[in-house]
């Protein structure tokens, strides 16, 4: 068969595959199901839109997963990463919303900095997470800790911190630090945010120099950089953020089984479980920032069989022998959420109610002049 005929047949197959789910000839008439044609990406080039510059954490995550997922998709296509940075990741996500075709050949890598503007109603956002189908969610964790010079041994001693001069080095109130700043506020801790940090690494260095006395780091950074300070008696861990269980409840982080998660810390301080607009807002940003920090999405209108093919491909990647060892440096020791589990996590983040959303916007504007 010559090249022109091969190309013609491939194009016809793809066209059918993207529209077939909608082909219905009326009640009682013949309906052509999406399952009628098997999903096949043989010879295709799949583009992963990466709304960040090369070399960052999200880019590393996407480039780790891209060849592994492509290998497990039907037809073993090539998956390439296309970096579209700008607007705090909103530019690339906007382009994906506008241009991505629902045939399985366009996917989006999302991170916390893509979801936070969406939840906050940022004017730059032209995308809608509720339009997309999640096939993968990658969690991470975090730990809040203080200087041993403050004279406390655990989160149970927080009352002793009242009246003390406490400082936290931050990247910005609407960055991932929102989770930490709001957590501290919910625990009635009077902490001054020192803005201008370019990353949490700079915040940790400020802590080590004694310029600030409270800090938060993701799991990998805490284990590698902060645990030695704990061992030397220079830092005291207060709580982890925890992880999101399949029942939607926050549980202890498996990396820190002896450390209370945030909800437990709240209960220790206040004597009751959190139930307020502020906490509901915190939970949404905790999920978006940590429990489901990174995600892989297909665009609006993608047929269910294509979504299923991606979910199965990701599941096969994770089930391969040796995956945990290979992935440890990129993913940490966290269970990856696939298919419906990933969709549940993102749905939990996005179900912030109007009252909680109004509360967090007012809090950010009044406390930090966020301009939202």
Encode pLDDT of 77-88 as tens digits. Answer: 999 999 999 999
Instruction: Give me the chain's average pLDDT, please.
Output: 90
Q: How many residues does the chain have?
A: 372
Q: What percent of the chain has pLDDT over 90?
A: 85
Tell me whether strands 294-298 and 106-110 are parallel, antiparallel or unpaired. Answer: antiparallel
Write down the pLDDT at residue 38: 84
How many whole angstroms from its chain centre is CA 278?
20
Determine contact, residues 213/149, Cβ cutoff 8 Å: yes
Burial class (CB in 10 A: 0-12, 13-18, 19+), 328: exposed
Instruction: Give the pLDDT band of residue 17 (cuts 50, 70, 90).
Output: very low
Whether CATH 3.40.190.150 fits 2-21+42-139+292-350 = yes
Q: CA 280, 286, 287: angle at the middle one, nearest 5?
A: 95
Write down the pLDDT at residue 31: 32
Question: Which residue spans of the chain are classified as CATH 3.40.190.10?
Answer: 142-288
Write down the pLDDT at residue 163: 83
Q: What global pTM score does this model have?
A: 0.88
Write down the pLDDT at residue 332: 86
Q: Which tens digit of pLDDT belongs to each residue from 47-92?
A: 999 999 999 999 999 999 999 999 999 999 999 999 999 999 999 9
Write down the pLDDT at residue 259: 97
Reply yes or no on whether the pLDDT at 292 is more than 50: yes
Write down the pLDDT at residue 162: 82
Provide mean pLDDT across the span 291-301.
97
Write down the pLDDT at residue 158: 87
Q: CA 359, 365, 370: angle at the middle one, nearest 5?
A: 125
Write down the pLDDT at residue 63: 97
Question: Which residue spans of the chain are classified as CATH 3.40.190.150?
Answer: 2-21+42-139+292-350
The CATH number assigned to the domain with range 142-288 reads 3.40.190.10
């Amino acid at each position: 068969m010559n090249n022109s005929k091969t190309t013609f047949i491939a194009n016809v197959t793809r066209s059918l595959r993207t529209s077939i789910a909608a082909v219905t000839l009326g009640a009682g008439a013949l309906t052509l199901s999406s399952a009628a044609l098997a999903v096949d990406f043989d010879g295709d080039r799949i583009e992963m839109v990466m709304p960040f510059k090369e070399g960052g954490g999200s880019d590393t995550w996407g480039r780790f997963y891209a060849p592994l997922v492509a290998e497990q998709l039907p037809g073993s296509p090539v998956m390439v990463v296309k970096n579209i940075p700008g607007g705090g990741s909103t530019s690339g996500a906007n382009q994906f919303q506008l241009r991505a075709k629902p045939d399985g050949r366009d996917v989006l890598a999302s991170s916390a900095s893509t979801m936070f503007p969406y939840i906050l109603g940022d004017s730059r956002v032209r995308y809608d997470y509720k339009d997309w189908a999640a096939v993968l969610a990658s969690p991470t964790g975090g730990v809040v800790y203080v200087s041993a010079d403050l004279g406390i041994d655990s989160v149970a001693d927080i009352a002793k911190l009242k009246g003390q001069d406490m400082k936290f080095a931050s990247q910005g109130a609407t960055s991932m630090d929102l989770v930490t700043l709001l957590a501290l506020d919910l625990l009635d801790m009077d902490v001054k945010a020192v803005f201008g940090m370019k990353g949490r690494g700079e915040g940790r260095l400020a802590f080590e120099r004694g310029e600030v006395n409270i800090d938060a780091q993701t799991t990998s950074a805490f284990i590698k950089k902060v645990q030695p300070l704990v061992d030397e008696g220079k830092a005291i861990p207060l709580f982890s953020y925890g992880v999101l269980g399949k029942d939607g409840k926050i549980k202890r982080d498996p990396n820190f089984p002896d450390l209370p998660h945030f909800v437990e810390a709240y209960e220790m301080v206040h004597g009751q479980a959190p139930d307020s607009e502020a906490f509901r807002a915190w939970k949404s940003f905790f999920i978006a920032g940590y429990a489901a920090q990174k995600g892989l999405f297909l665009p609006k209108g993608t047929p269910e069989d294509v979504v299923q093919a991606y979910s199965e491909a990701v599941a096969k990647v994770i089930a391969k022998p040796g995956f945990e060892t290979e992935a440890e440096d990129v993913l940490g020791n966290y269970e990856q959420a696939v298919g419906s589990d990933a969709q549940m996590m993102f749905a939990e983040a996005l179900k912030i109610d109007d009252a909680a959303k109004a509360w967090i916007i007012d809090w950010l504007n009044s406390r930090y002049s966020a301009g939202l």
